[in-house]
């Protein structure tokens, strides 16, 4: 906002001039009428009709110019400010971690980016303009009226605050009712959507009549809300002219009397009618304006909540860490409790991972597997002195280096709405296409890509080809493999891939990852047993650790899981 001060003031000046020319126009019209009446009151000396008309045209032209200029200036300020606000928002959210998004969800950030910024935009473009008009219009209007007839002006002016207060109250009512309509509308949408998504169940359970009855109340609620909003708007459109007419009545009765007693001319009477219009216009908007400014203030607060959020993962490398990670990890009494959580997600974890080793982690949902993995890439704020990489505290490494050399494939295979090759080569869009194909091959995705008409250039996601769950996971895997990082972390990323393909990928990985550290999480014994060592987690603690054979002979939790799965409890998709 500060950056556009000059432009804003110029805009103000424009509106100031515009009001001046507007009043002048009415002035000239009133002179013209008097001239027609044959009794010029001599304010402007003896002007001919032609001169007056010329004056009117000139005033109109001037007003046309300055108003255009001023409106444009102020609206551009609104656009420029919302541009800046968006940039700030984007820069800020990019650095935020999971703690931030737990507080302000993605949907919430989107709402702020879309609605709050547009509110502020409107408040500047429309609100600022209205304020200026609200100040200048009475300023000119009232002083010009005073010039013509003090007593008549003093009779009309007390009405203005009454109208203002009414406008304010109505604006509140209107805001409330329009929110109500919005709410009912979104209720109606979600009701319809939900109902139609379940249409087969509804029909299978013979629930059609019930559902149609249930829809009636949602439907009727919306109709009522819509009517209520229309009622309030209509009330406002009835009262506003009524107030105006009261002022007109005063002009008729008192002004008419003044004309008949010769105190003012007929032209002056017409002048009063015209000025009244100019005065009332901004007051009508006043209510909306106050509300807009209030909401913009709230919006600003909400935006600053994002701007002021410090990134929870600090990036302050000591400069002592070596530039290349070898892949030896040492967890020393690592514990982690999520902010606000009662119980720690991880408790006293001690593992030493040798560079080049493959480690598998298994455990129930909520046992701390994903949390443990997040420590490695500092997707959560890893405490000091609990995780060492190649002998250096993980917090000593620059964040960019850590995340570049430790490649992590997430549980949720998120793909961007872009071509496949940009998704796989996401970290470096300029990479050679051959390398992308190699990564796809390693993730057993080559066959699927060959089936797409656009091959690697196939756009995926909402607006493109819909991939199956398994294809998505394999694309995400390819994205992780393409970097050939010294450390690879796979967070349960085979769950939608069938066992046979998984087997194929894993055996390929053995060759690719030889001598490099690989850490993976899985539920399947068939996946786990390929690793050098298996860590069994329970409620944030390590309960067993060792090779597949060692754990089986231990006859503990792992052996129990193995028995359950080989008995056929593990669901297997029917091959088709």
Give the interface segment with other proteins, choosing from 135-143, 155-163, 218-226, 289-297 (CB under 8 A): 218-226
Contact string 69-108 vs other proteins (x = CB under 8 A): --xx--xx--xx--x--xx--xx-xxxx----x----x--
Structure-block tokens of residue 93? 């959210």
Q: Is the dihedral of CA 57, 63, 66, 71 positive or negative?
A: negative
Q: Is 47 in the site for other proteins (CB under 8 A)?
A: no
Q: Which of 172, 182, 203, 352 binds other proteins (CB under 8 A)?
A: 203
Q: Cα dist. 115→108, 109, 111, 303, 458 in Å?
A: 10, 10, 5, 11, 33
Instruction: In angstroms, give the least distance from the CB of 175 to other proteins.
Output: 17
Cβ(122)–Cβ(161) below 8 Å: no
Q: Which of 253, 297, 385, 465 binds other proteins (CB under 8 A)?
A: 253
Binding to other proteins, residues 492-531 (CB under 8 A): 495, 523, 526
Instruction: In angstroms, give the least distance from the CB of 61 to other proteins.
Output: 7
Q: Is 25 in the site for other proteins (CB under 8 A)?
A: yes
Cβ(241)–Cβ(104) below 8 Å: no
Q: Which of 6, 162, 235, 465 binds other proteins (CB under 8 A)?
A: 235
Binding to other proteins, residues 120-149 (CB under 8 A): none
Q: Is 238 in the site for other proteins (CB under 8 A)?
A: yes
**Among 529, 540, 531, 524, which Cα is nearest to 489's?**
531
Binding to other proteins, residues 425-444 (CB under 8 A): 426-427, 429
Q: Is 212 in the site for other proteins (CB under 8 A)?
A: yes
Give the interface segment with other proteins, choosing from 252-260, 326-334, 351-359, 527-535 (CB under 8 A): 252-260
Instruction: In angstroms, give the least distance from the CB of 452 to other proteins.
Output: 20
Instruction: In angstroms, give the least distance from the CB of 333 to other proteins.
Output: 26
Q: CB-hemisphere CA count at 13 Å for 308?
A: 6
Q: Is 195 in the site for other proteins (CB under 8 A)?
A: yes
DSSP single-letter state for residue 374: H
Q: Total binding residues for other proteins by CB under 8 A?
A: 132
**Among 108, 30, 22, which Cα is nearest to 60's?**
22
Give the interface segment with other proteins, choosing from 138-146, 284-292, 414-422, 505-513 (CB under 8 A): 414-422
Q: Which of 23, 35, 493, 535 binds other proteins (CB under 8 A)?
A: 35
Return d(Cα 548, Cα 532) in angstroms, integer: 8
Q: Is 270 in the site for other proteins (CB under 8 A)?
A: yes
Return d(Cα 356, Cα 510) in angstroms, integer: 11
Q: Which of 248, 300, 326, 501 binds other proteins (CB under 8 A)?
A: 248
Q: Is 566 in the site for other proteins (CB under 8 A)?
A: yes
**Among 480, 517, 499, which Cα is nearest to 575's?**
499
Q: Which of 63, 369, 472, 548 binds other proteins (CB under 8 A)?
A: 63
Instruction: In angstroms, give the least distance from the CB of 15 to other proteins.
Output: 12
Q: Is 247 in the site for other proteins (CB under 8 A)?
A: no
Give the interface segment with other proteins, choosing from 153-161, 248-256, 280-288, 386-394 (CB under 8 A): 248-256
CA 218 to chain centre: 28
Instruction: In angstroms, give the least distance from the CB of 348 to other proteins.
Output: 26
Residue 333 or 416 having the CB closest to other proteins: 416
Residue 303 or 561 having the CB closest to other proteins: 561
Cβ(331)–Cβ(350) below 8 Å: yes
Give the interface segment with other proteins, choosing from 268-276, 345-353, 383-391, 443-451 (CB under 8 A): 268-276
Instruction: In angstroms, give the least distance from the CB of 562 to other proteins.
Output: 10
| DSSP class per residue in 302-370 | HHHHHHTPPPSS-----S-S-SS----EEEEEEEE--TT-SS-SEEEEEEEE-TT-EEEEE--TTSSHH
Q: Which of 56, 306, 373, 387 binds other proteins (CB under 8 A)?
A: 56
Residue 374 or 533 having the CB closest to other proteins: 374
Sequence-ordered list of residues with C-beta below 8 angstroms from that of 428, at least 6 positions apart, any chain: none
Strand order in the sheet with 387-389: 346-353, 329-336, 387-389, 392-393
Angle between helices 266-307 and 49-94 (to 10 degrees): 10
Q: Which of 479, 516, 530, 548 binds other proteins (CB under 8 A)?
A: 479
Q: Is 377 in the site for other proteins (CB under 8 A)?
A: yes
**Among 362, 346, 373, which Cα is nearest to 558's?**
362
Return d(Cα 409, Cα 492) in angstroms, integer: 9
Burial class from Cβ neighbours inside 10 Å (0-12, 13-18, 19+) for residue 510 reads: exposed
Residue with tokens 């597997």: 369
Q: Is 298 in the site for other proteins (CB under 8 A)?
A: no
Tally of CB atoms within 10 A around 154: 12
Q: Which of 259, 309, 459, 552 binds other proteins (CB under 8 A)?
A: 259
Residue 96 or 444 having the CB closest to other proteins: 96
Return d(Cα 263, Cα 68) in angstroms, integer: 38
């Amino acid at each position: 906002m500060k950056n556009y001060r000059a432009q804003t003031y110029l805009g103000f000046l424009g509106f100031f001039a515009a009001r001046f020319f507007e009043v002048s126009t009415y002035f000239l019209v009133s002179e013209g009428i008097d001239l027609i009446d044959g009794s010029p009151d001599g304010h402007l000396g003896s002007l001919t009709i032609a001169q007056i008309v010329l004056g009117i045209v000139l005033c109109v032209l001037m007003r046309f110019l300055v108003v255009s200029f001023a409106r444009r200036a102020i609206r551009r300020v609104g656009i420029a400010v919302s541009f800046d606000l968006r940039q700030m928002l984007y820069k800020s959210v990019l650095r935020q971690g999971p703690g931030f998004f737990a507080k302000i969800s993605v949907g919430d950030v989107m709402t702020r980016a879309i609605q709050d910024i547009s509110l502020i935009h409107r408040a500047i473009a429309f609100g600022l303009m209205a304020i200026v008009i609200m100040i200048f219009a009475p300023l000119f209007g009232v002083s010009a009226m005073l010039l013509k007839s003090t007593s008549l002006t003093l009779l009309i002016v007390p009405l203005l605050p009454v109208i203002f207060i009414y406008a304010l109250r109505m604006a509140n009512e209107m805001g409330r009712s329009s929110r109500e309509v919005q709410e009912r509308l979104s209720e109606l949408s979600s009701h319809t959507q939900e109902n139609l998504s379940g249409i087969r169940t509804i029909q299978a359970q013979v629930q059609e009549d019930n559902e149609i009855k249930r829809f009636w109340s949602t439907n009727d609620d919306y109709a009522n809300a819509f009517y209520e909003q229309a009622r309030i708007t209509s009330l406002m459109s009835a009262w506003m002219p009524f107030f105006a007419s009261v002022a007109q009545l005063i002009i008729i009765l008192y002004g008419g009397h003044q004309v008949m007693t010769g105190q003012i001319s007929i032209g002056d009477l017409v002048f009063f009618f015209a000025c009244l219009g100019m005065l009332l216009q901004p007051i009508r908007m006043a209510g909306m304006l106050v509300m807009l400014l209030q909401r913009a203030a709230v919006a600003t607060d909400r935006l600053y909540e994002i701007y002021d959020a410090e990134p929870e993962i600090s990036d302050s490398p000591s400069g002592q860490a070596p530039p290349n990670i070898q892949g030896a990890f040492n967890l020393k009494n690592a514990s982690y409790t999520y902010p606000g959580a009662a119980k720690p997600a991880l408790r006293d974890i001690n593992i030493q991972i040798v560079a080049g080793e493959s480690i598998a982690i298994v455990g129930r949902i909520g046992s701390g597997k994903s949390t443990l993995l997040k420590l490695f890439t500092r997707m959560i704020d890893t405490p000091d002195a609990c995780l060492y990489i190649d002998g250096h505290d993980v917090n000593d490494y620059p964040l960019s280096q850590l995340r570049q050399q430790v490649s992590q494939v997430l549980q949720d295979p998120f793909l961007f709405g872009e071509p496949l090759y940009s998704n796989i080569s996401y970290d470096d869009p300029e990479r050679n296409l051959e390398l992308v194909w190699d990564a796809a091959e390693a993730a057993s995705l080559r066959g699927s890509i060959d089936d797409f008409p656009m091959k690697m250039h196939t756009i995926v996601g909402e607006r493109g080809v819909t991939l199956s769950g398994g294809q998505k996971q394999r694309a995400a895997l390819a994205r992780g493999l393409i970097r050939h990082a010294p450390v690879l972390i796979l967070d349960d990323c085979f769950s939608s891939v069938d066992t046979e393909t998984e087997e194929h990928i894993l055996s390929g990985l053995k060759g690719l990852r030889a001598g490099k550290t690989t850490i993976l999480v899985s539920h399947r014994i068939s996946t786990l047993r390929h690793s050098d060592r298996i860590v069994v987690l329970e409620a944030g603690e390590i309960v067993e650790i060792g090779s597949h054979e060692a754990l089986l002979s231990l006859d503990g939790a792992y052996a129990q899981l193995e028995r359950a799965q080989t008995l056929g409890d593990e669901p297997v998709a029917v091959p088709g």
